C-alpha cells in the first residue's frame, strides 16, 4: 500500500470524522438544552428508553456519545441501571441512522452543502441559522471525506493480495469481526468505520458478504468509549457500560454463529433485504444500501429480542460486577405533583427539598476542602456527581415553584415563594464553588504543588469557619430561627476581613521567597481557594437576607 493511498485514506477519514462532529454539534445546538433533560427524565419504561435513545443518538450522530451521557447520568444518580439499558438499546438503533445517511450517494452534492453551510454559518446573524449552517457544513465535509477515502482506495482494486485478504472476511468471519473491532476501538466511532467500509465497497474491493463481519465487529468496538468513560465511576455506572458491552457482544455473537452454522447465510440475508427493498419500492439496491439496511435490521432485531428481558440483563451485569449498589436516589423526594392543588402544602414540600439540597451543598464544601488538604483525588469525582444532583434538583424545584398557583396563597406565602427562587440559586452557586475547589485539587496534584505550614493553617482555619456557618445556614432554613441570621452575617463580614489579611500575607510570602522555598503557583491556588470559600459565605449571607425578608415583625405568618 503506497504512501499516497494511506495519506488519502487518513485525510478522508479525518474529514469524515470532523464533518460528523460539526453536524452533531450543530444538531445538538439546534435541539437546545432539552436534549439532556429528555434523556434523563423520559426513560421510566424500557420501551420509552429505547425511543429516547434512538432519537437522541440520531441527533448527536453517535451511539458512543449517547452511552457516555448515559454512564454519566447513572454515575450522578440521575438514572437507574434498568433505565440506562433501554436507552443503550435505542442508541444502537439510532446510530444506524447515520449509516443510512452515509449510504445515500450524495457525494456529488458535498461542495454545494459546504458552500451553503459555510456562508450561512459565517454570515448569518441568527443563532438558529448559524446552527443550521453548521449542520450543512458538517454534512458536506462528511461526504467530501467519504469521496476522498473512495478515491484513495480505488487503486486497491488492482492489488490481488488486498482483494484476497478482503475475501477472507467472508470465508473466516471472525477475521472481519476483529478488523471491525480494531478499527472502531482506535477511532472510537462505528460510523467512521462504516464510512471506511463503504469506501471499500464503492470501489469494488470488498463485497456484501465480507462487509457483514466488519459491521458486527464495529458494533462490539463502539462499546470501548462507554467502558473508558466508566473507569473511576461508581458501580452502577460501570454496570451500565458493561450492559452496553454484553448487549452488543451477545447480539453480534449470535449473528456470527449463523454465519458459521447456516450454509450460505449471507446469501439468504442478501435476498431477504432485496425483497424488503422491493416491497418499499426500491429498485436496484446498491451494496452500500444493503449494508446500511443490514446494520439497521440487526440492531432493531437485537433490541426486540432483548427488550422483554431487560430485568435479566440487569441481573446478568450485577453477577458480572457484584457488589453493593451505589445508586443515589435522583431528583426530588418530598415533592408530590398532586399537592399543586394545595399550594400551602406544596410550598412546605419545596422547603423540605431546599433543606435537603442545602445539606448536599454543605457536605460538598466540607468534603472537598478536606480533600484539598489531604490531596485526595478520589473526592473530585464524588463532588462532580453531587453537583449534577444539585443542578437537577434546582431545575426540578424551579419548574415546580413556577406551577404553584398564587391565588390561594397568603401574602407571606407569596413572599416565601419569591425568596425561595433566590435561595435555590444561592445553594446551587455554593455547589458550583465546591466543584471549582475540586478542579483546584486536580491542578494541585497535576503540578505537585506543596503548601507551606502557614498556608495549611490558613486553609484549616478558614474551612472550619465556613463549615460552621454552613451548618448554621442549613439550620436557619430548617428552623426559621432569625437569631442565626445575625450570626451568619457577622461571620461573613469577619471572613471578608480575614480574606484580605490572608491574601496580603500570602502575597508577601510569595514576594519574599524564592521558588525553591515557595512555589508561586501554590500561592495563586491558595488565593483562588480562599476566593471560593469567601464567595460561599457571600451566598450564605444572601440566603440569610432572603429568609429574614420573608418575616414581618420577626414572626412568620400562616
Band (pLDDT 50/70/90 cuts) for residue 556 is: very low
Q: Is the CB of residue 291 less than 8 Å from the CB of residue 198?
A: yes
Class of residue 64 by CB neighbours under 10 A (exposed 0-12, middle 13-18, buried 19+): buried
Q: 98-112, 391-405, 493-507: which has the highest mean pLDDT? A: 391-405
Residue scoring higher pLDDT (512 or 556): 512
pTM for the predicted model, two decimal places: 0.59
Q: For residue 57, what pLDDT is reported?
A: 81
* pLDDT surpassing 70 at residue 110: yes
Please say if the pLDDT value at position 76 is more than 70. no
DSSP-derived letter for residue 514 is -
Q: Cell 467530501 appears where? A: 144
Q: What are phi and psi of 332, to 5 degrees?
A: -95, 140
Which of 189-203, 258-272, 295-309, 496-510 shows the lowest per-residue confidence on average (mean pLDDT)? 496-510
User: What is the CA angle 245-250-253, rounded to 5?
Assistant: 120
Question: So what's the pLDDT on residue 330?
Answer: 53
Express as a percent the part of the chain with pLDDT over 70: 85
β-partners of residue 552 are 555
Mapping DSSP onto H, E and C, the string for 98-135 reads HHHHHHCCCHHHHHHHHHHHHHHHHHCCCHHHHHHHHH
Residue 41: the pLDDT is: 56
Please check the confidence at residue 119 and state whether its pLDDT lies above 90. yes
SS3 261: helix
Q: Are 424 and 413 in contact (CB under 8 A)?
A: no
- What 3-state DSSP class applies to 406? coil
In this predicted structure, what is the pLDDT of residue 555? Answer: 44
Asked if 138 and 28 touch (Cβ cutoff 8 Å), the reply is no
**492 pLDDT above the threshold of 60:** yes
The C-alpha atoms of residue 292 and residue 298 are separated, in whole angstroms, by: 10
pLDDT at 509 over 90: no
Q: HSE of 423 in the Cβ direction (CA atoms, 13 Å)?
A: 30
Give the contacts of 405 (CB within 8 A, at least 6 positions apart).
340, 343
Q: Looking up cell 492489488, which residue turns up? A: 159
**Virtual CA dihedral for 217, 223, 224, 226, nearest 10 degrees?**
170
DSSP string, 241-259: HHHHHHHHHHHHHHHHHHH
Q: What is the structure's pLDDT at 6?
A: 84
Q: What is the pLDDT of residue 554?
A: 41
Question: Which tops the pLDDT comparison, 413 or 161?
Answer: 413
Is the confidence at residue 354, as pLDDT, over 90? yes
The per-residue pLDDT for 448 is 82
Here the cell at position 111 is: 461542495
At residue 226, the pLDDT reads 77
Q: Domains in the chain, please, with CATH? A: 8-320 (no CATH), 339-549 (1.20.58.220)
Task: Give the residue, 337 or 365, on which the prediction is more confident.
Answer: 365
Residue 327 is predicted with a pLDDT of 47
Mean of the per-residue pLDDT values of the chain = 82
Determine the average pLDDT of the residues in 55-76.
72
More confident residue, 471 or 150: 471
The pLDDT of residue 557 = 37
What percentage of the chain reaches a pLDDT higher than 90? 18
Measure CA 453 to chain center: 40
Cell 438544552: give the residue: 33
334-338, 392-396, 415-419, 460-464: least confidently modelled range = 334-338
Amino acid at each position: 500500500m503506497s504512501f499516497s493511498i494511506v495519506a488519502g485514506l487518513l485525510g478522508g477519514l479525518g474529514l469524515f470524522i470532523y464533518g460528523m462532529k460539526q453536524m452533531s454539534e450543530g444538531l445538538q445546538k439546534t435541539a437546545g438544552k432539552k436534549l439532556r433533560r429528555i434523556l434523563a427524565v423520559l426513560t421510566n419504561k424500557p420501551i420509552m428508553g429505547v425511543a429516547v435513545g434512538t432519537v437522541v443518538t440520531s441527533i448527536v450522530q453517535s451511539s458512543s456519545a449517547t452511552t457516555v451521557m448515559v454512564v454519566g447520568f447513572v454515575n450522578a444518580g440521575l438514572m437507574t441501571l434498568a433505565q440506562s439499558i433501554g436507552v443503550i438499546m435505542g442508541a444502537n438503533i439510532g446510530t444506524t441512522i447515520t449509516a443510512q445517511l452515509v449510504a445515500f450517494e450524495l457525494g456529488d452534492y458535498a461542495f454545494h452543502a459546504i458552500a451553503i453551510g459555510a456562508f450561512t454559518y459565517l454570515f448569518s446573524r441568527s443563532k438558529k441559522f448559524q446552527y443550521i449552517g453548521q449542520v450543512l457544513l458538517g454534512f458536506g465535509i462528511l461526504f467530501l471525506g467519504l469521496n476522498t477515502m473512495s478515491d484513495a482506495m480505488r487503486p486497491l482494486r488492482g492489488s490481488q493480495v488486498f482483494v484476497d485478504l478482503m475475501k477472507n472476511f467472508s470465508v473466516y468471519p471472525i477475521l472481519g469481526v476483529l478488523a471491525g473491532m480494531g478499527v472502531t476501538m482506535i477511532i472510537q466511532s462505528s460510523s467512521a468505520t462504516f464510512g471506511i467500509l463503504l469506501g471499500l465497497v464503492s470501489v469494488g474491493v470488498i463485497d456484501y458478504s465480507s462487509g457483514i463481519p466488519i459491521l458486527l465487529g464495529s458494533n462490539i468496538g463502539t462499546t470501548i468509549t462507554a467502558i473508558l468513560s466508566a473507569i473511576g465511576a461508581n458501580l452502577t455506572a460501570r454496570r451500565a457500560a458493561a450492559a452496553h458491552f454484553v448487549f452488543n457482544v451477545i447480539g453480534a455473537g449470535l449473528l456470527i454463529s449463523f454465519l458459521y452454522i447456516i450454509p450460505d447465510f449471507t446469501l439468504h440475508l442478501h435476498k431477504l433485504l432485496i425483497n424488503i427493498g422491493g416491497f418499499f419500492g426500491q429498485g436496484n439496491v446498491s451494496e452500500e444500501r444493503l449494508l446500511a439496511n443490514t446494520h439497521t435490521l440487526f440492531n432493531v432485531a437485537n433490541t426486540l429480542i432483548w427488550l422483554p428481558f431487560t430485568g435479566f440483563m440487569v441481573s446478568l451485569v450485577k453477577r458480572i460486577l457484584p457488589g453493593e449498589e451505589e445508586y443515589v436516589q435522583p431528583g426530588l423526594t418530598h415533592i408530590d405533583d398532586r399537592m399543586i392543588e394545595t399550594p400551602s402544602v406544596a410550598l412546605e414540600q419545596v422547603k423540605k427539598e431546599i433543606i435537603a439540597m442545602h445539606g448536599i451543598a454543605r457536605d460538598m464544601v466540607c468534603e472537598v476542602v478536606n480533600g484539598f488538604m489531604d490531596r485526595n483525588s478520589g473526592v473530585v469525582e464524588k463532588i462532580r456527581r453531587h453537583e449534577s444532583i444539585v443542578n437537577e434538583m434546582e431545575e426540578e424545584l424551579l419548574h415546580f415553584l413556577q406551577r404553584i398557583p398564587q391565588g390561594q396563597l397568603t401574602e407571606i406565602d407569596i413572599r416565601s415563594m419569591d425568596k425561595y427562587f433566590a435561595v435555590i440559586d444561592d445553594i446551587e452557586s455554593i455547589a458550583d464553588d465546591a466543584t471549582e475547589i475540586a478542579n483546584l485539587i486536580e491542578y494541585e496534584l497535576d503540578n505537585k504543588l506543596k503548601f507551606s505550614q502557614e498556608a495549611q493553617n490558613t486553609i484549616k482555619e478558614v474551612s472550619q469557619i465556613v463549615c460552621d456557618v454552613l451548618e448554621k445556614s442549613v439550620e436557619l432554613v430548617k428552623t426559621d430561627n432569625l437569631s442565626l441570621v445575625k450570626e451568619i452575617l457577622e461571620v461573613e463580614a469577619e471572613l471578608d476581613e480575614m480574606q484580605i489579611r490572608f491574601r496580603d500575607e500570602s502575597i508577601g510570602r510569595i514576594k519574599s521567597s524564592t521558588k525553591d522555598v515557595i512555589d508561586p503557583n501554590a500561592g495563586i491556588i491558595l488565593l483562588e481557594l480562599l476566593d471560593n470559600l469567601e464567595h460561599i459565605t457571600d451566598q450564605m449571607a444572601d440566603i440569610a437576607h432572603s429568609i429574614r425578608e420573608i418575616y414581618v415583625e420577626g414572626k412568620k405568618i400562616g
